[in-house]
Amino acid sequence: MPVKIVECIPNFSEARRPQVVDQIIAAVQAVPGVGVLDRHSDLDHNRTVLTFVGEPAPVEEAAFAAIAKAAELIDLNQHQGQHPRIGATDVVPFVPISGMTMVECVEMARRLGKRVADNLGIPVYFYEEAAQRPERRNLEDIRRGEYEGLKQAVLEDPARAPDLGPAQLGSAGATVIGAREALIAYNIYLNTPDVSIAEKIARRVRNSSGGFRYVKAMGVLVGGLAQVSMNLTNFRRSPMAQITETVRREAARYGASIHHSEIVGLVPNQALVNAARWYLQLDGFENEQLLDSRLFSWQSEQVSAAKPEQADFLDQVAEGTPSPGGGSAAAHSGALAAALVAMVARLTVGKPKYAEAEAEAWQVIARAEELRKVLSAAIDLDAQAFDGILQARRLPKTDEAQQQARTDAIYQATLHAARVPLETAGECLSVLRLAARMAEIGNLNAISDAGAGAQLALAAFRSAALNVRINLLGLEADPEPARMLAQLAELEGRVALALQAVDEALLKRAGLRAKLG
């Protein structure tokens, strides 16, 4: 399975105190598995942009650590700079790099936002793909009035209230968190201090004024030179070379020219390759001609070939050892069912046709992922519970006291070995209900996947139920086993209702019959 890599590019309202930036970076680097790729501090903007990457969980943790440290060290009431901002940590975007989907990045953004609001008391706004309201997709709309203006507006205007957290800005301000495609922060300096020229050019090139579709731009004064400051949100459809030439042509209209340009942070290779192909008129040039890219591919192949194959869960089950067995297999199947449910929900969000179902689909994703995690953990818990019975049976029994202690230990271990699959059964019922709901409201193109998830959840439930019953065989009259068996019978009744809902949805929406015959 390919490793999932996500990029995070938080912007902090500080550049003139390098010791503060160093502490924020240290908070990021303290999280294992995260690599800081770039640090760009602009003294005029008084703003620092970090770029770090890694697998989703550590990157999310590092983002939280950085936000917490920035809130501790940066006071927006004392901050001044050329760049618009509303927070100590002004904006935190997640970008899918490898093995990641945009939906997964949206989930990261929303989890992080909730944690920031709940644990740090910082107001949070969601933007771009993570926006919960269409009027908040664009960052500039959220930042209108900057920290000083928003600080007052949030108290008076319900439309400016944050998505999460208190409707009040403290010294750390508010933080905007989101998910987006790769963005290029591209600035072109003019050979004039007349910022009005940069402002006119910005109006010419930005999308909101009728310019390039994927360009956001403004004119500012930086280091004594007028600057056209731009964000390119899709470099393939709004290419850097054409944008540069438009700026050059517009500047000439006002008797100015390009002094130099800069890229803030990192840039995709393809953006520069496209610019080189355009400027050098490299007809027929292919990316395979890039030496660095070919070398990287070769190195990756060598590393993959050198990795030993690890025995997976299926190999462990097939080994012929007592555990993992049926209970673990039930949990594994339940986790797979939860993954299918999450997949259907992710194929539903972001689709205009299913806009009415989007809010509920996001809830399904969160719950399905929670169940997947719990059921994955139950794979080992069930094996450990069975091992507990074996250990109890190995206790000494040379005298009456030892025999009684051994009998009691076996009994308690047996009850525990029944509780684990009973909990698994309950979680599989929850997965089955989620599958039923996605069959009812989810993307019709994935309705069979919702049905497959339901069938897997059903099989997992029945397998877990068998393990409950085999462990309690002969103990049915005892109070605790009797209670567990009654609970299992109640769950079975609920399973029948959930399964009926799945069958009805499959038949009504797609003409599918889940039952044989």
Residues whose CB is less than 8 angstroms from the CB of residue 141 and which lie 6 or more positions away in sequence, other chains included: 135
Cβ atoms of residues 70 and 89 within 8 Å: yes
Cβ atoms of residues 310 and 319 within 8 Å: no
Token pair listed for 146: 């900057």
Q: Name which of 219, 215, 181 is nearest 202 in CA terms.
A: 219
Token pair listed for 251: 């500047």
Instruction: Give the H/E segment covering residue 11.
Output: strand 11-12
Q: Name which of 372, 370, 385 is nearest 415 in CA terms.
A: 385
Residues whose CB is less than 8 angstroms from the CB of residue 90 and which lie 6 or more positions away in sequence, other chains included: 11, 12, 13, 47, 143, 173, 175, 176
Could you give the angle at the alpha carbon of 104 between the alpha carbons of 421 and 118, nearest 5°? 80
Distance (Å) of CA 9 to CA 21, 83, 273 = 14, 16, 22
Q: How far apart are the C-alpha atoms of 224 and 239, rounded to whole Å?
A: 28
Give the residue numbers annotated as catalytic, written as ranges: 83
Q: How far apart are the C-alpha atoms of 354 and 349, rounded to whole Å?
A: 7
Q: Name which of 166, 181, 173, 182 is nearest 142 in CA terms.
A: 173
Buried b (16+ CB within 10 A) or exposed e, 459-493: bbbebbbebbbebbeebeeeeebeebbeebeebee
Cβ atoms of residues 42 and 14 within 8 Å: no
